[in-house]
Chains A and B, each alone.
Chain A
C-alpha cells in the first residue's frame, strides 16, 4: 500500500479522481458546493464572509457606543426607533445598552472576526495551496470547524435579541458579574448564551487547529521541507499550536463558571453582598482571581493567535512586492517561535493590579518585556526587506506596510504597560485601549485586508478595484491613527475605560471635544469600510477577470494552480518543490518559482 493511500485513507480515492479526470467527476450540487462544502477553499470563503458580516456588526456596535461617548448630551430619536427602548430609550444609548455594546463589540471582534475570520480564512485557504496539498488532512473536520463557528455565531447573534439583553460584563467575562444572574440584566440569559456560544467556538477552533497542524506537518509536497515553507505557513502553524494548547484552559474556566452560575458552587465566589437583591450570598472560599488566571491563560495567547497570521501574510506580501527575498528568514521563524513560547508564560501581566503577588509580578513583567526582542527582530526584518526594494504599491502591499506601522505604534506602548509599576497608573485606562487596538486590533485588521486584496485573484479569479482600494486604505490608515492616537493622552490623564458618560466627571470634562472628534472619525472610518465591502462583493461577480496565472510574479505554489482551481487544487500531479519561497531578484532574474529546479550555475546563498 502506498504512503499516500494510508495517509489519506478516507480521502484518497477522491484525490485520485481529481488527478485522473478533474473536470467532471462528482456531481456538485448547490448544497455540497456552497453550503456543506469540504473544499478548503470554499470553507475559507465561508469563514471570510461570515467574518466580514461579524466585522460589520461589531464595527456598527462601536459606532453606536461612540455616539454615546461623543455626544452624551444629545438624543437621536431615530436610535430608539431602530433599537428599541432597552437599548436607546429617548434616543440616547442606555447604560445597560452601552455595556452590552462594548462587551459584544469586544467578543465579536476578538473571537469571531480576528480569530475565525482571519486565521480561519487564511489557514484554510493558504495551507493546502502553499504547501502543495490537495486539501486539509481531514476535510470533514474542517467543514465541522466552520459549522461549529457558524452555530457559535448564531447563538451570539440571538443573545443580542433576548429580553434581558446580551452579556454586558466586558469581553473578559470576569466573575462575579458573569457568575451571578442577579448581578446585572445581561448576566441572565445573555450570559448563558454567551458562554454556550464561546464553548462552541472553542470546539470549532480546536477542530480547525488540529487539522492545520496535521496538514502542515504531514502533507507537504515533495521537496517542501520545513525551511522551504513560506512564512505564512510557519505563522499559521504557530497560531494553530497556540490555539490547541490555550483554548482548552478557557474551556475549563468556563465549565467552572457554568457550575458557579447554575449548580451552587463557589469556585470564583466569596464574600458577596448583592445590592440588586439586597442579600448576602452564602458562597465562600472561591477566588475571582482564579478565573482571571484561567481566562488570561487563553487571553494572552489569543492576541498572538490574532497577530501571527497577519505577521505571516505581511512577510509574504512585503517580500513579493519589494521583489526581494525576505530579510532573515530563519530569524523570522525563530522569532515566531519565541513569540509563541513566551505567549504561554506571560498571562498574568493583565492582572498586575488584582493583588497579584509582587514577586510573581516582577517575573511576569520580565517575561513580558522579553517579547520586545522577537517583535523588534520582525519589525527590523520587514523594514530591511523593504529597504532598497523595487517596491510595488499594490493595495495588499499598502495594507502590509500599514500593518508594520500600526504594529510599531502599538507595540512601543506595550513596553509601557508591560511594566508592573507603570501599569498601576495605566491599567484600565484609555491608554490600554489605544495600545491593544493599534497593536492587535487595527494591525491585524490591516493584515486581513492585505491578505484579502492580495489573494483575491486566487480566491475568485478576478481582481478588486484598485482605486477604491487606495481610497479605502488611506481613510482607514489616517482614521485609525486619529481615533487611537488621542486616546493615549486621555489614558495618561487617567481616563478610565468602560465608563458610560465622562461628561459628569470634572476631571474628564476637558476631553468632551476630543471625544466628539474621535467619534466623528469613527463614523467616517466605518463608512469607508463599506467601500471595501462594495469593492469585494462587486468584484466577485463583476471584477476584472484574472488572465495571468501568476499576477504578482510570486514564487509560491498557489500561483501554479489554475486561475479557478477545482477541489483538489492541481489538475495533474502536485508540483515538486526545489527551493525556498523567496528567490526574488536572484542571479538577475526577477523571480524563480519554488517549482524551478536549481540550475547548475546558480549561486548558492539560499536553498
Chain B
C-alpha cells in the first residue's frame, strides 16, 4: 500500500489501472464475485427450503462415521474436520507458492504447488469416500434414509442439496487441482521464468483460496448448523 500511495492522485486519470492491478487479476476477482453469487444462490436456496420445511435431519446423526471405524462408533464432525484442515493447509501451501513466485523462487514454487495439488487430491479423495459411504447408507439424489431430528419421515431435500452443493464445490476443487497441475507444468517448463513474472500463479492462487472460502461456508451450513 505504502509503495503506491504516492501515485494515488492520478490513478483514475486513465492510461493505467486505477487499482494498480493487471487486468487478468481484475477479471479473476470479478469472476470470483460472480461465482460467489452462484454458490450464494445455492446456499440461500438451501436455507429457503430448510426454512419452509417443518423438520430437518440432524447433520450430526448423518455425518458420524470415519473410514475404517468399527460399526457403531459414532464420531460426528471428526471426518469433516479433517477435510476442512486439509483444505486450509492446502490453501497455506498455495499462498506460499504465490509468495515464492513473487520472489522468483522457482524451487519453492514447485514444492508448494505439489503440496497444494496433493492437498486438493486428498480432499477430493475424502469427499469420494464420504459420498460412497452415504450412498451405501441409502442416500442419493432423491433418496434420504436419515430421519428428521424430531423423528418424522426424512426430508428428501436434505440429501438433494447436500449432494448438489458439495458436488458443485467438489467440481470447483477438481478444476482447481487441474489448474494447479497446469501451473506446475508451466513452472517446470520455465514459462514464467521466461516471462519474468509469476503473476499467473497468483490468479490460480486466488481461485484456489476461493474454493477454500466456499468450503468454509458449505462446512458451516451443512455440518454445523
A–B direct contact (CB < 8 Å): yes
A interface, CB within 8 angstroms of B:
1, 3, 6-9, 131-132, 137-138, 206, 210-211, 213-215, 217-226, 228, 244-249, 251-253, 255-256, 259, 263-267, 284-287, 290, 293-294, 297, 576-577
Contact of B17 among A9, A218, A224, A263 (CB under 8 A): A218
- Tell me how far the C-beta of B7 lies from the nearest C-beta in chain A, rounded to whole angstroms: 11
* B155/A285 in contact, CB under 8 A: yes
Q: Name A141's closest neighbour in chain B (CB-CB).
A: B27
A132, B15: Cα distance in complex, Å: 9
A9, B191: Cα distance in complex, Å: 13
* A226/B12 in contact, CB under 8 A: yes
Q: Name A285's closest neighbour in chain B (CB-CB).
A: B157
Contact of A138 among B23, B33, B49, B161 (CB under 8 A): B23
- Tell me how far the C-beta of A165 lies from the nearest C-beta in chain B, rounded to whole angstroms: 28
Q: Can you give 30 contacting A-B residue pairs, CB < 8 Å? A: A6-B22, A6-B197, A7-B22, A9-B24, A9-B195, A138-B24, A138-B27, A213-B30, A214-B30, A217-B19, A218-B16, A218-B21, A221-B14, A223-B13, A223-B14, A252-B39, A253-B41, A255-B164, A256-B42, A259-B141, A259-B160, A265-B156, A265-B164, A267-B45, A267-B49, A286-B49, A287-B49, A287-B52, A576-B15, A577-B14
Whether B135 is near chain A, meaning CB under 8 Å from some CB there, is no
Whether B48 is near chain A, meaning CB under 8 Å from some CB there, is yes
Contact of A248 among B35, B142, B157, B197 (CB under 8 A): B35
- Tell me how far the C-beta of B199 lies from the nearest C-beta in chain A, rounded to whole angstroms: 8
Q: Name A344's closest neighbour in chain B (CB-CB).
A: B37
A293 surroundings in chain B (CB, below 8 A): 48
A293, B41: Cα distance in complex, Å: 10
A8 surroundings in chain B (CB, below 8 A): 23
A286, B39: Cα distance in complex, Å: 19
The A-contacting residues of B in range 27-67, CB under 8 angstroms, are 27, 30-31, 33-35, 37-42, 45, 48-49, 52-53
Contact of A206 among B34, B156, B157 (CB under 8 A): B34
* A245/B33 in contact, CB under 8 A: yes
Query: Which 4 pairs across A and B sit closest by C-beta, in order of nearness?
Result: A264-B142, A222-B15, A252-B41, A224-B14
Tell me how many residues of B have a C-beta within 8 Å of chain A. Answer: 44
A1 surroundings in chain B (CB, below 8 A): 196
Contact of A7 among B17, B27, B164, B196 (CB under 8 A): B17
* B37/A245 in contact, CB under 8 A: yes
Whether B149 is near chain A, meaning CB under 8 Å from some CB there, is no
B interface, CB within 8 angstroms of A:
12-19, 21-24, 26-27, 30-31, 33-35, 37-42, 45, 48-49, 52-53, 141-143, 155-157, 160-161, 164, 168, 195-197, 199
A249 surroundings in chain B (CB, below 8 A): 37-38, 40-41
Contact of A259 among B31, B41, B164 (CB under 8 A): B164
* A219/B45 in contact, CB under 8 A: no
Given contacts A255-B164, A287-B52, contact A297 B41 (CB under 8 A): yes
A264, B157: Cα distance in complex, Å: 11
Given contacts A245-B37, A255-B168, A267-B160, contact A214 B16 (CB under 8 A): no
Given contacts A264-B141, A297-B41, contact A244 B18 (CB under 8 A): no
B199 surroundings in chain A (CB, below 8 A): 6, 9
Given contacts A248-B35, A251-B38, A265-B141, contact A218 B23 (CB under 8 A): yes
A109, B202: Cα distance in complex, Å: 40
